[in-house]
Amino acid sequence: MKQSFTCSICGAKTRGFGNNPDPVVTIPDARCCDSCNRDYVIKARILMIGLIDAARSPKKNRQSTRTE
């Protein structure tokens, strides 16, 4: 059984189940096509993982507030 959906990123009508576009589009039940998934969603996820790592790691340096 084939499904079709409208890509929530590029607006193309596409056959198939699509991909979860989060974090590019965070609307519930939104789908995106394979090409947008590859070009935007995967890159956005890689960027977000990098941002999360960057947000976590500097805390080590911020603890250098001296209370002596």
User: Given the complex with Zn ion, which of 15 and 50 has the nearer CB atom?
Assistant: 15
Give the contacts of 30 (CB within 8 A, at least 6 positions apart). 8, 20, 21, 22
Dihedral in degrees, nearest 10, Cα atoms 32, 38, 39, 40: 60
Q: Which residues bind Zn ion (CB under 5 A)?
A: 7, 9-10, 33, 36
Q: How far is the CB of 5 from Zn ion (least distance, A)?
A: 10
* Closer residue to Zn ion (CB): 9 or 30: 9
* 3 versus 50: smaller Cβ distance to Zn ion: 3
